[in-house]
Chains A and B, each alone.
Chain A
Amino acid sequence: MKTITVNGNEINWEKDINIDDLLKKMNYTFKMIVVKIDGNLIKKNEYKSTIVYAGADVKVIHLVSGG
Chain B
Amino acid sequence: MNIYKNKYNVDQIKENHKIIAEFKYDIKKLSLGYSNKTLHINLGKSKISSKEVSQEMKDKFTGGRGFNLKLLWDAVNENTKWDSPENEIVIAAGPMSGITQYPGTGKSIVCGISPLTQAPVDSNVGGYFGPYLKFSGWDAIELQGISKKDVIVYINGDEGLIQIIEAPKEDVNSHLISEQMCDIFAENEMDMKSIATVSAGQGAENSFFGCLNFSFYDRRRKVARLKQAGRGGLGTLFRHKKVKAVVCKFSSLNFNNNEVDNLEMIKEVGKNYHRELYEEDDKQCDMRHVGTAHLVEIMDDYDLLPTHNYKFGSDSKTPKISSPIWREMFTQGIPDGCWYGCSMQCAKCVDGYVLRTGPYKGDTVSVDGPEYETAAAFGANMGIFDPHFIVEANFYCDTYAIDTISFGTTMAFIMECYENNIINKEITGGYDLSFGNGEEALNMLHLMASGVGFGKTIGLGIRRLKKLFVDKYNADANFLNDIGMECKGMEYSEYMTKESLAMQGGYGLALKGAQHDEAWLIFMDMVNNQIPTFEDKAEALHYFPMFRTWFGLQGLCKLPWNDVEPADNAETEEPAKVPSHVQNYVDIFNSITGRKIDKNEMILQSERVYNFQRVFNLRMGFGTRTSDKIPYRSAGPVTNEEYLSREDRYDKQLQEKWNWNPKGKSVDERKNKLRQFREDAYQQLCDAVYKRRGWDNNGVPTINKMKELKMDLPGVIEVLKKYGQ
Our pick among A7, A41, A43, A67 for the contact of B520 (Cβ within 8 Å) is: A67
Q: Are A63 and B493 in contact (CB under 8 A)?
A: no
Q: Are A65 and B520 in contact (CB under 8 A)?
A: yes
Considering only CB atoms and an 8 Å cut-off, how many residues of chain A contact the other chain?
21
CB closest chain-A residue, reference B523: A62
Q: Are A8 and B517 in contact (CB under 8 A)?
A: no
By a CB distance below 8 angstroms, the chain A residues around B522 are 66
Tell which of A14-22, A27-35, A47-55 binds the partner.
A27-35
Cβ distance A10 to chain B, nearest Cβ, rounded Å: 11
By a CB distance below 8 angstroms, the chain B residues around A59 are 528
CB closest chain-A residue, reference B299: A66
Q: Are B520 and A64 in contact (CB under 8 A)?
A: yes
Our pick among A28, A31, A41 for the contact of B283 (Cβ within 8 Å) is: A31
Considering only CB atoms and an 8 Å cut-off, how many residues of chain B contact the other chain?
33
Asked whether any CB of chain A lies closer than 8 Å to the CB of B80, the reply is no
In the bound complex, how far is the Cα of B544 from the Cα of A43, in angstroms? 27
Q: Are B298 and A34 in contact (CB under 8 A)?
A: no
Asked whether any CB of chain A lies closer than 8 Å to the CB of B302, the reply is yes
Tell which of B140-148, B205-213, B565-573, B659-667 binds the partner.
B565-573
Asked whether any CB of chain B lies closer than 8 Å to the CB of A61, the reply is yes
A62-B528, A64-B521, A67-B517 known; A30+B283 contact, CB < 8 A: no
Most buried by B among A7, A28, A43, A67: A67
Asked whether any CB of chain A lies closer than 8 Å to the CB of B610, the reply is no
By a CB distance below 8 angstroms, the chain A residues around B302 are 27, 30
Most buried by A among B520, B528, B532, B558: B528
CB closest chain-A residue, reference B548: A67
Our pick among A7, A30, A43 for the contact of B529 (Cβ within 8 Å) is: A7
Asked whether any CB of chain A lies closer than 8 Å to the CB of B683, the reply is no
By a CB distance below 8 angstroms, the chain A residues around B569 are 34, 63
In the bound complex, how far is the Cα of B281 from the Cα of A31, in angstroms? 11
By a CB distance below 8 angstroms, the chain B residues around A41 are 570-571
By a CB distance below 8 angstroms, the chain B residues around A65 are 285, 295, 520, 523, 562-563
By a CB distance below 8 angstroms, the chain B residues around A29 are 297-298, 301
Our pick among A27, A31, A63 for the contact of B523 (Cβ within 8 Å) is: A63
The count of A-to-B residue pairs whose CB atoms sit within 8 angstroms is: 72
Asked whether any CB of chain B lies closer than 8 Å to the CB of A37, the reply is no
By a CB distance below 8 angstroms, the chain B residues around A32 are 284-285, 565
Q: Are B297 and A8 in contact (CB under 8 A)?
A: no
A29-B297, A30-B298, A34-B575 known; A64+B562 contact, CB < 8 A: yes
By a CB distance below 8 angstroms, the chain B residues around A4 are none
Cβ distance A50 to chain B, nearest Cβ, rounded Å: 14
In the bound complex, how far is the Cα of B569 from the Cα of A59, in angstroms? 16
CB closest chain-B residue, reference A31: B284
Q: Are A8 and B529 in contact (CB under 8 A)?
A: yes
Q: Are A67 and B523 in contact (CB under 8 A)?
A: no
Q: Are B576 and A66 in contact (CB under 8 A)?
A: no
Our pick among B283, B516, B529 for the contact of A66 (Cβ within 8 Å) is: B516
Interface residues of B in 601-639 (CB under 8 A from A): none
In the bound complex, how far is the Cα of B320 from the Cα of A45, in angstroms? 31
Our pick among A9, A34, A66 for the contact of B295 (Cβ within 8 Å) is: A66
By a CB distance below 8 angstroms, the chain A residues around B298 are 29-30
Q: Are B301 and A34 in contact (CB under 8 A)?
A: no
The 8 tightest CB contacts between A and B, nearest first, are A62-B523, A34-B570, A8-B529, A66-B520, A67-B516, A29-B301, A7-B529, A67-B520
Ordered by A's residue number, 9 sampled pairs between the chains whose C-beta atoms are within 8 Å are A29-B298, A31-B285, A32-B285, A59-B528, A61-B530, A61-B575, A63-B523, A66-B495, A67-B516
Chain B residues engaging chain A, CB cutoff 8 angstroms: 283-285, 295, 297-298, 301-302, 493, 495, 516-517, 520-524, 527-530, 532, 544, 558, 562-563, 565, 569-571, 575-576, 578
